[in-house]
Amino acid sequence: MRNDKLIRARRRKGWTQEELSRLISCEKSTISNWENGVSNPSLSTAFRLSSLLECDVNELFLNIKIKESQKMNQSKRASVNNKSC
């Protein structure tokens, strides 16, 4: 299934697939595969993308919207400030 949230998050930053691929040291085709639902990134790469795109990893890859109270608790534990996709 196509990952529209990943596509929107990348575009919101104004990055092409190629630019994002350079930022995380992978091939452009890898970004395309993730966006088109052909494959998924490793857990560590998913968190890196989440950080770069400033988007919650759960929403970005699991399509799970976390309640605001849960986000506040998470942000206390996490060093990365993630925004909703």
How confident is the model over 66-83, as pLDDT tens digits?
555 454 455 544 555 556
Domain total in the chain: 1
Domain containing 19 equals: 4-77
In a domain, 41, yes or no: yes
Residue 82 covered by a domain: no
pTM over 0.85: no
In a domain, 44, yes or no: yes
- pLDDT, tens digit, 9 for 90 and up, residues 19-66: 999 999 999 999 999 999 999 999 999 999 999 999 999 989 887 665
What distance in Å separates the CA atoms of residue 30 and residue 24, rounded to the nearest whole number? 11
Q: Considering the domain boundaries, does residue 84 fall inside one?
A: no
Cβ proximity of 76 and 47 under 8 Å: no
Tokens matching residue 82: 């993630």
Q: What is the rounded CA–CA span in Å between residue 21 and residue 25?
A: 6
CATH code of 51's domain: 1.10.260.40
Strand intervals (E) in 1-85: none
